Chains A and B, each alone.
Chain A
């Protein structure tokens, strides 16, 4: 369960970073991206990535967590690339749903 929550956190982080780019944001949300929004997505994405590393470090130790995080970034990005290329709109419900699952996982 812990690993799933950590992987989902990484996926959310990379999803937020993807949304900070104009072309991806337009494809997902069908509306333009303001500079403030882009900064917000970037900050939120970076913070979530740091949170993911912190969670993994607590579980596996910092060295193992570093390698694991790079693997998760790779996996999350591959999923995002596929989604953004073929079904970009799907990301709109997937990201909030992942956040809910992640929060539930963290709470219980």
Chain B
């Protein structure tokens, strides 16, 4: 401990932040990208780019089309699913699972897509994990067991919470410095960038860290649950979140109502409420049923109603009830963390706040390295810790954006028939990241940062061009036909390219900047020799 509370808090803030910042950057970076998981999924399957959302589409007709496709393609399946198109996923998705083979818990899962405007089945899309990979990466990491990864992420998140709270304690002029940023002043500017990015989105940082821990609270703190329920943890979950258990199949064959009658039965129950999806269980059995899920509204409580109907008689078997306050609180916290309730505008603000978090983490680590480097210069002493931090900084803060860009390139450049292509897309992400890390072992100067940022800008800037070459629909075309999800993706890539280009430009060495200014001035004065 240090000699004063303030110094102890400063020490705590520095070390809990520094020790976990690289893992936290990965978690923040992947989590921020995952706010656009559905959009990334769509972009990474160019076979589905022709599909467009129509707010006035007849949902009854769409469900009928889904049912027809399922009846043709999977009459003997165990379960069917139909998901109606949304603005973010402008596709009618139908899916089914085969009966589980012996020794298996679940049968194989298959899905197909229908263009909701034309009603035509879309060709089989390429295999890709899309945005789902980034979503999983942000708490399950990769190449390791899920359980280990979640413990690592939870440990780092706890450290982050401590770093944020101690940061608030040590930052005395939190309101006075609210709008302050003094550019071009070395470590002072890094401190300003760190403080500004922390304070401007402070409620978001606190919320995202705390709710992140809440999502896995029973894994991190199971003792209360264990004491009360012992090995019967399932009993707790049944009491806490009562879920309607679909009755088991009786084995007695029965015919499902014809599609029109079934739709009428569903309509009489749900009325005009917007349907999100339907799940059919125990097909061709006397206990056959359908669960109708209503689309959640844009509110913090994401517990949308559902109805359970018999597909043989059309009668209502069960429906959702009001859940407990604790259940609703936890549900709201998870919704706040995932941004599931957010409309397009708020989603964009979530992205902005997430990027601010990335800047906060990166600027903190770089500031630490800059300060130590200045101390070393004074003492003329070499510090191996500084070399390691500089290496990790370059590998993580410059490497991850490059890795993400390479993931998108791999999606379009790997042949569609490539064996295990969805995993190879992910391997490309990690290979490119490893290459930057390798470079960071040998070169870590300002010029390397600048060149890597320029490369990142180039990679993101060329992505819309790659899309135009590998998809039937390009940026202008998408804007014209109001396919804003795809157009938005391309525009976002261009914005990222501009951001990295500006960062690279600011990283130009002072000598070069000075030389450019002198040349410009002499040209303007007409004194060029």
Which residues in A have some Cβ–Cβ distance to B below 8 Å? 3, 17-18, 21, 23-24, 60-61, 63-64, 67-68, 70-75, 77-78, 80-82, 84-86
Contact = CB atoms under 8 A, between A and B. Distances in A.
Given A18-B179, A67-B336, A75-B352, A60 B203 contact: no
A63 B179 contact: no
Nearest to B336: A67
Contact of A64 (B176, B181, B204, B341): B341
Contacts of A63: 299-300
Contact of A70 (B196, B203, B300): B203
Interface residues on B, range: 20 to 34
- Which 9 A/B pairs are nearest by Cβ-Cβ distance? A71-B349, A85-B181, A77-B200, A63-B300, A74-B201, A18-B179, A70-B203, A81-B181, A74-B200
Contact of B346 (A17, A68, A77, A85): A68
Contacts of A72: 349
Given A70-B204, A74-B204, A84 B179 contact: yes
Most chain A beta-carbon neighbours within 10 Å: one of B182, B196, B346: B346
B192 to A, nearest CB: 9
Contacts of A86: 183
Given A21-B176, A64-B299, 8 more contacts: A21-B179, A63-B299, A68-B345, A68-B346, A75-B352, A78-B356, A81-B200, A84-B179
A17 B179 CA distance: 10
Nearest to A3: B345
Contacts of A80: 179
29 contacts: A18-B178, A21-B179, A23-B180, A24-B179, A61-B299, A63-B299, A63-B300, A64-B298, A64-B300, A64-B341, A67-B300, A67-B336, A67-B346, A68-B345, A68-B349, A71-B349, A71-B353, A72-B349, A74-B200, A74-B353, A77-B178, A78-B200, A81-B181, A81-B196, A81-B200, A82-B181, A84-B180, A84-B181, A86-B183
- Which secondary structure characterizes the binding site on chain A? helix
Contacts of B336: 67
Contacts of B203: 70
Contacts of B176: 21
A75 B179 contact: no
Contacts, number: 63
B363 to A, nearest CB: 13
Most chain B beta-carbon neighbours within 10 Å: one of A61, A63, A81: A81
A71 B179 contact: no
Contacts of A17: 178
Nearest to A84: B179
Nearest to B342: A67
Most chain A beta-carbon neighbours within 10 Å: one of B179, B336, B342, B356: B179
A17 B200 CA distance: 14
Contacts of A75: 349, 352
B36 interface: no
A20 B196 CA distance: 18
B433 interface: no
A68 B176 CA distance: 24
Interface string B288-321: 0000000000111000000000000000000000
A71 B299 contact: no
A81 B183 CA distance: 11
A21 B178 CA distance: 10
Contacts of B299: 61, 63-64
Contact of A78 (B300, B341, B346, B352): B352
A95 B167 CA distance: 32
A59 B492 CA distance: 28
Nearest to B199: A77
Nearest to B353: A74
A72 B353 CA distance: 10
A68 B182 CA distance: 28
A75 B201 CA distance: 9
Contacts of B353: 71, 74
B179 A81 contact: yes
A93 B327 CA distance: 50
B352 A74 contact: yes
Contacts of B183: 85-86
Nearest to B339: A67
A77 B201 CA distance: 9
Most chain B beta-carbon neighbours within 10 Å: one of A71, A81, A86: A71
A96 to B, nearest CB: 19
Nearest to B301: A63
Interface in B158-211: 176, 178-183, 196, 200-201, 203-204
A2 to B, nearest CB: 11
Contacts of B298: 60, 64
B350 interface: yes
A92 B298 CA distance: 37
